[in-house]
Chains A and B, each alone.
Chain A
Amino acid sequence: MSADEQPLMVQVQGLGKRYRLGTTNRQQLTDDVKAWTAKLLGRPDPTIPVGAEVDPQRIGEDFWALRDVSFEVRRGEVVGIIGHNGAGKSTLLKLLSRITLPTEGTIRMRGKVSSLLEVGTGFHQELTGRENIYLNGAILGMRKAEVNAKIDEIIAFSGITHHIDTPVKRYSSGMRVRLGFAVAAHLEPEILIVDEVLSVGDADFQRKSMGKMKDSAKSGRTVLFVSHNMTAMRSLCQRVIWMEHGRVRMQGPTEEVVAAYLGSYSSSTTEKIWNDQDAPGTEVGRLRQVRVAPASGGELFLWEDVIDVEISFEKYVDEPVYVVIQVSNSDNMVIFTTNIREAVPGVDKLKPGSHVAVCHFPSHLFNAGDLSLSIGMAHNGRMSFKVENVVSFSVVEPPRTGTWHGRRRGMFRLKLPWEIR
Chain B
Amino acid sequence: MIQQVTVPEKKQFLDEQHWDVVIAPSSPWWKLNLGEIWRYRDLLRELVVRDLTAIYKQTILGPIWVLVQPLITSIMFAVIFGMMARMSLPGIPALLFYMSAIVPWSFFAGVINKTSATLAANANLMTKVYFPRLIPPLSSMFSTSFTFLVQLTLFFVFALVYLLSGSYAWAPGAALLMLPLLLLLEMMLALGVGLIVAAMTTRYKDLGFLIGFAVQLLMYMSPVIFPLSRVDVDSPVRSVLEVNPMTPIIEGFRGALLNTPMDWSTLWYSFAFAAVALITGLALFQRAQRSYADVV
Contacts and interface: CB of A to CB of B under 8 A. Distances in A.
Interface of A: 7-8, 11, 19, 24, 26-30, 32, 94-113, 115, 117-118, 121-122, 124, 126-127, 131, 134-135, 138-144, 167
10 closest Cβ contacts across the A-B interface? A98-B130, A138-B46, A138-B43, A107-B23, A109-B21, A108-B19, A126-B57, A100-B293, A29-B204, A144-B42
A109 B20 contact: yes
A94 B294 CA distance: 10
Interface string B262-296: 00000000000000000000000000001101110
B25 A100 contact: no
A21 to B, nearest CB: 12
B26 interface: yes
B230 interface: no
The winner among B131, B294, B295 for most chain A CB atoms within 10 A is: B294
Contacts of B204: 27-29, 32
B19 A109 contact: yes
A126 B129 CA distance: 21
A19 B295 CA distance: 10
B131 A110 contact: no
Nearest to A169: B57
B43 to A, nearest CB: 4
B22 A106 contact: yes
Contacts of B42: 138, 142-144
7 contacts: A27-B203, A28-B205, A102-B25, A107-B23, A126-B53, A138-B43, A144-B46
B59 to A, nearest CB: 10
Nearest to B46: A138
A101 B57 contact: no
Given A98-B23, A124-B54, A117 B294 contact: no
Interface string B1-19: 0000000000001101011
Contact of B13 (A109, A111, A122, A135): A111
Given A113-B21, A124-B50, 5 more contacts: A29-B207, A95-B23, A106-B23, A109-B21, A126-B54
Nearest to A167: B57
B124 interface: yes
A112 B204 CA distance: 36
Contacts of A108: 19, 21-23
Contacts of B233: none
Given A27-B204, A27-B205, A30-B206, A121 B125 contact: yes
B53 A139 contact: no
The winner among B16, B25, B58, B129 for most chain A CB atoms within 10 A is: B129
Contacts of B40: 138, 141
Contacts, number: 128
B130 A131 contact: no
A30 B295 CA distance: 18
A138 B21 CA distance: 19
Contact of B293 (A99, A124, A138, A144): A99
Given A108-B22, A109-B20, A19 B43 contact: no
Contacts of A144: 42, 45-46
Contacts of A140: 129
Contact of A135 (B21, B50, B57, B131): B50
A7 B47 CA distance: 36
B124 A122 contact: yes
B9 to A, nearest CB: 12
Given A106-B23, A138-B46, A141-B131, A99 B124 contact: no
A96 B130 CA distance: 10
Contacts of B203: 26-27
B24 interface: yes
A135 B203 CA distance: 29
B127 interface: yes
A117 B21 CA distance: 19
A127 B42 CA distance: 17
A102 B18 CA distance: 21
B31 interface: no
B47 to A, nearest CB: 8
A131 B126 CA distance: 20
B53 A127 contact: yes
Contact of A28 (B57, B131, B206): B206
Contacts of A106: 22-24
The winner among B26, B204, B290, B291 for most chain A CB atoms within 10 A is: B204
Contact of A101 (B13, B20, B25): B25
B143 to A, nearest CB: 13
A373 to B, nearest CB: 46
B290 A7 contact: no
A34 to B, nearest CB: 13
B129 A97 contact: yes
A37 B50 CA distance: 45
Contacts of B54: 124, 126-127
A73 to B, nearest CB: 13
A92 B73 CA distance: 52
Contacts of B14: 7
Nearest to B55: A126
Interface in B17-70: 18-26, 40, 42-43, 45-47, 49-50, 53-54, 57-58
The winner among A94, A110, A138 for most chain B CB atoms within 10 A is: A138
Contacts of A96: 23
A104 B126 CA distance: 21
Contact of B125 (A24, A98, A122): A122
Nearest to B127: A99
Contact of B128 (A26, A102, A104, A118): A118
